[in-house]
Structure 1
Amino acid sequence: MSFQESAREFLSQQRIAVVGVSRSGSATGNAIFKALRDQGHTVIPMHPDATTIEDVPCYPNLQAIPDGVDGVVIVTRPDVTEKIVQDAVAAGVPRVWMHGNALFGIQNSSVSQRAVAYGREHGLDVIDGGCPLMFVDFGHKCMRWILGATGKLPQ
């Protein structure tokens, strides 16, 4: 499945967790959380210490989320991504999206090749790079087009 097909499949899900939201509201994870919520998804924030983010109950791990989720967006450092993917396997989450900023490269990426391999070995649908926002709002859709035209869009 291509990146765009995988992204559309992921975003067709209703219950999505976002790892990497901050209490200050300024993190990329918060922007993704808000955009998906505004699109009508049930979005569950994850944070190791917060109990709520924007008045929405927050959970420390995927296994703690009542009724589970259909997918998880990961916006963390790669070493944290590895732990989240292990948690996803244990919690029975079928799909993960590891955020990666194609414009700025690996320094702004949540992708861990070990996490990608582990997830796929355990049957997860893994998107390793790109950003859900490229399929949500006009500005980011334009960015997706530019990345595609320049060959920088994940395959």
Structure 2
Amino acid sequence: MKTRAKTANLIKEFFSSSHYAVVGASSVPTKYGNRVLKWYMTNNRPVTPINPNETLIEGLHCVPNLYSLTSNLNHTDISVSVITPPKITKTILEEANKLGIKKVWLQPGAEDTECQEYANQVGIDLICGGPCVLVDGPRL
């Protein structure tokens, strides 16, 4: 289990990125995928919504997966927020690993033990198990 200090350091590192992606972004304003996306927008963070069933969310071009992020982005300097069910989250973590993306924040409900074990095995700096960008992000 991660200590608070380690989680705080991971969050600080997460917010040092030059670009962000929200996997599970939603066009429905009441869903967390939309609220998290709007948080990045409101806080002037360059963000790309990721959803395989949408083309435009909150006025931003949406891409279907992490592989579709523009090629001019440095994948090692992207932080990813994930708002998906755990069985989909595992696939997202595998994509992130293949692309060299190491900073991933699983919003509450997106994680399970298998996801955490995989992230630890491949060296992804995973934030999970409680903190939420909507709650913890504003004070950072």
Partners of 2:68 and 2:17 in 1: how far apart? Answer: 19
1:7 aligns with 2:8: no
Q: 1:53 aligns with which of 57, 62, 73?
A: 57
Partner residue, 2:105:
97
Map 1:31-110 onto structure 2 (within 5 A).
Answer: 31-66=35-70, 67=73, 68=75, 70-100=78-108, 109-110=109-110
Q: Give unpaired runs (5+ residues) of structure 1.
A: 101-108, 142-155
1:25, distance to aligned residue in structure 2 (A): 2.7
Deviations 1:82-112 (A, max 9, x none): 1111111112211111111xxxxxxxx1112
| TM-score calculated relative to the size of structure 1 | 0.77
SS in 2 for 1:76: coil
Q: Deviating runs (4+, > 6 A) in structure 1? A: none
RMSD over aligned Cα atoms: 1.6
Q: Give unpaired runs (5+ residues) of structure 2.
A: none
Residue correspondences, number = 130
SS in 1 for 2:119: helix
Q: Give the structure with higher Rg (CA).
A: 1
Percent sequence identity over aligned pairs: 28
Partner residue, 2:136:
135
Partner residue, 1:118:
118
Is contact 1:74–1:98 with CA below 8 Å preserved after alignment? yes
| TM-score calculated relative to the size of structure 2 | 0.84
Partners of 1:53 and 1:33 in 2: how far apart? Answer: 9
